[in-house]
């Protein structure tokens, strides 16, 4: 039976501990390629169970799509948040609007327009536009400094091996997304991607999460979102998606929990170590 044909979760666990004196199980036995189940106390014909189902835990959504793990990229899979802080700081200085780095860091992950409104509340639209252009230029010039965070590739490979969809649910611009995808180098196991161009306003608005769910063909209950900021958490809460936080973006665990995280891990490597017990393990 092909995996795509499954519509609900099946986990067939056959207990073979009830044995006769000879050690042969009396509740189940193999015959050829089929598993034959007996109903104790019954002489009814044995039931055949397709081998493809044996011990195979898989949940497929109502649409027939496999569950999805949605990933933010900046600060979650790629070590980029502090580069964003530095390049935004340079941009603000150049337009004559100095902003303390801690304030910039607290806004990383926020929709770009909302970030500028929050950090430059009294600036003109022209000044904000110029700052955005400079940030993009400085970020692209510094792209060689970007690298995947510890355990990123191993985590993504483990999730793909579970037959779960991997969706890059980012609000990065197309230009930044192109850089990030090259740094990650995992396009072959990615099912779908979003970018800032897909919505009018990104996080904390839930629209980007909704687009990611739609492209994966799953409902909120068949997905988990992994991110690194309170803005990710707030977007997930509004979209009804379980949020798993990583500290890799520089946010304290308690801040992520207060924002709605179901669980928080240090980095992708620690999430991988505890994958079975995480919300992803329950998909």
- Are residues 25 and 132 part of one domain? no
For residue 228, give the nearest of 82, 67, 77 by alpha carbon.
Answer: 77
- Are residues 165 and 245 part of one domain? yes
Question: How do strand 242-246 and strand 223-227 relate by DSSP bridges?
Answer: parallel
Q: Quote the CA–CA distance of 193 and 78 in Å, as a whole number.
A: 15
- Are residues 74 and 204 part of one domain? yes
What number is the average pLDDT over the span 190-200?
91
Q: Give the mean pLDDT of the chain.
A: 83
- Domain interval for residue 2: 1-58
Tally of structural domains, the chain: 3
Which residues fall within 8 angstroms of residue 115, CB to CB, at 6 or more apart?
88, 107, 108
Q: Phi and psi at residue 230, in whole multiples of 5°?
A: -65, -25
**Would you say residue 236 lies in a domain?**
yes
What number is the average pLDDT over the span 115-123?
97
Q: pLDDT tens across 38-77, in order? A: 444 444 444 333 333 333 344 555 556 899 999 999 999 9
- Are residues 91 and 121 part of one domain? yes
Question: How do strand 242-246 and strand 192-194 relate by DSSP bridges?
Answer: unpaired
pLDDT reported for residue 201? 74
Rounded to two decimals, the pTM is 0.78
Share of the chain above pLDDT 90, in %: 72
Report the number of secondary-structure helices (H) and strands (E) in the chain.
Answer: 10, 9
pLDDT reported for residue 30? 41
């Amino acid at each position: 039976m092909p995996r795509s044909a499954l519509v609900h979760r099946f986990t067939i666990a056959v207990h073979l501990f009830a044995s006769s004196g000879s050690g042969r199980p009396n509740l189940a036995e193999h015959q050829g390629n089929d598993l034959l189940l007996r109903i104790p106390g019954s002489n009814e014909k044995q039931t055949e169970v397709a081998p493809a189902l044996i011990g195979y835990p898989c949940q497929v959504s109502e649409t027939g799509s496999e569950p999805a793990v949605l990933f933010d990229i900046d600060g979650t899979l790629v070590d980029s948040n502090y580069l964003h802080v530095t390049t935004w700081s340079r941009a603000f200085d150049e337009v004559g609007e100095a902003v303390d780095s801690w304030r910039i860091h607290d806004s990383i992950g926020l929709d770009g327009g909302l970030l500028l409104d929050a950090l430059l509340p009294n600036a003109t639209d022209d000044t904000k536009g110029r700052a955005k252009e400079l940030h993009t230029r400085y970020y692209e010039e510094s792209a060689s400094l970007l690298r995947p965070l510890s355990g990123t590739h191993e985590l993504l490979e483990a999730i793909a091996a579970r037959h779960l969809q991997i969706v890059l649910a980012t609000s990065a611009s197309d230009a930044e997304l192109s850089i990030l995808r090259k740094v990650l180098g995992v396009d072959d196991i990615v099912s779908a991607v979003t970018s800032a161009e897909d919505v009018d306003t990104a996080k904390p608005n839930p629209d980007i999460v909704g687009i990611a769910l739609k492209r994966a063909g799953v409902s909120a209950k068949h997905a988990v979102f992994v991110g690194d900021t309170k803005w990710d958490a707030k977007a997930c809460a509004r979209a009804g998606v379980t949020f798993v936080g990583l500290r890799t973006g520089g946010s304290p665990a308690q801040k992520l929990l207060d924002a709605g995280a179901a669980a928080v891990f240090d980095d992708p490597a620690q999430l991988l170590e505890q994958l079975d017990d995480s919300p992803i393990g329950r998909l």
